[in-house]
Amino acid sequence: MSTRLRTPAARRVSPLMVVWLTAVWVALWGNLSFANVLTGAVIAVAILALLPLPPGRAGLAFRPWGLIRFVVLFVVDLVVSSLRVAWQALWPGRLPRSSVVGVALIGRSDVMLTATVLALNVMPGSIVIEIRQGTPTVIYIHALGAETPAAVEAARRSVVRLEARVIAAFGTREEFALLNRTRGGRP
C-alpha cells in the first residue's frame, strides 16, 4: 500500500474529469481527430490546474436505477407540462391564473437544491422565484394555472416528487435515509 503524498496540482487534476472535459470538447467541435482530442485534453488539464474545483461533499451517490427513473419521469413530466401550458395558451378568451406556492424540501446539500431547482425551471409552467435556506429549505415557485387549492396542492406534490427523484438518483446517504423515513422511499 502506497502512502505517497500527492502534490496540490495532482490533487486538482482528476483523470476522470480530464476525460469528461475532453469528451465535451470533442463533442462541441464535432470532430473526432487525434489533434482535437489532444487539444481538448491539454485545455482540460490547464483548466483543472488553474481553476481548481472546491472539494466535494463526501457521501454523494450515483444510483443508476434512481437516475433512469428520474430521467424517464422527468421527460414524461416535461411533455405533460408542455401540453398543459400549450392548452392554457390556446384556450380562447380565458387568461390562466397563477399562484406562488411554497414547498419545504428535505434535501440538505446545495447540490440537491441546485439539481431540483434546475429541473423545476426547465418545466414549462413553473419557475422558482425564491429560495429560503434553513431547516427546512423552502422554495417558492410561480405555478401557472394553480387557481384552486387542489391545483396548488398538486403543484406542491409535483415539486416534492421531483426532489425525491433527485435524491433517489444522487442524494447523500443521510438524505436518502431521510427520504425513506419521511416519504416511505417513494419518489
For the stretch 107-124, pLDDT in tens is: 878 888 999 999 999 999
Q: Are residues 121 and 38 in the same domain?
A: no
- pLDDT of 179: 84
100 compared with 145, residue with greater pLDDT: 100
135 DSSP assignment: S
CA angle, 66 as apex, 20 and 138 as ends, to 5°? 95
- In this structure, is residue 28 part of a structural domain? yes
Q: How many angstroms separate the CA atoms of 16 and 90, rounded?
A: 48
Residue 126 near residue 144, CB atoms below 8 Å: yes
Q: Is residue 116 part of a domain?
A: yes
* Sign of the C-alpha dihedral computed for residues 30, 33, 35 and 40 taken in this order: positive
- Strand blocks (E) in 5-124: 98-105
Predicted local distance difference test score (pLDDT) of residue 2: 44
36 with 103, same domain? no
Is residue 55 in some structural domain?
no
Whether 46 and 68 share a structural domain: no
Name the domain count of the chain: 2
Q: Is 153 helix (H, G, I), strand (E, B) or coil?
A: helix
Are residues 32 and 116 both part of a single domain? no
Instruction: Assign 138 a pLDDT band (cuts: 50, 70, 90).
Output: very high
- pLDDT reported for residue 1: 44
What average pLDDT score do residues 157-182 get?
A: 88
Most confident of 23-27, 133-137, 177-181: 23-27
Do 166 and 83 belong together in one domain? yes
Helical (H) or strand (E) element with 93: none
Domain holding 74, by residue range, is 64-183
* Residue 56 located in a structural domain: no
Check whether 147 has a pLDDT greater than 60: yes
- Show the cell assigned to 18: 480530464
Residues 175 and 138 in one domain: yes
Burial class (CB in 10 A: 0-12, 13-18, 19+), 37: middle
Rounded CA-CA distance 143/176 in Å is 27
One domain for residues 39 and 101:
no
Q: Does 1 fall in a domain?
A: no
Residues 119 and 27 in one domain: no
Domain identity same for 12 and 75? no
* Same-domain status, 82 and 152: yes
Query: d(Cα 9, Cα 20) in Å, to the nearest integer?
Result: 18
Q: What is the tens place of the pLDDT at every residue in 50-85? A: 988 766 555 577 888 999 999 999 999 999 999 999
Q: Among 112, 123, 102, which Cα is nearest to 164's?
A: 112
pLDDT at 89: 84
Residue 3 maps to a domain: no
**Does residue 8 sit in helix, strand or coil?**
helix
| Together in a domain, 75 and 34 | no
pTM comes to 0.69
How far is the C-alpha of 122 from the C-alpha of 86, rounded, in Å? 15
pLDDT band at 6, cuts 50/70/90? very low
Q: Residue 12: what pLDDT?
A: 65
Do 127 and 152 have their domain in common?
A: yes
**CA 82 – CA 20 distance, rounded (Å):** 32
Whether 57 is covered by a domain: the verdict is no
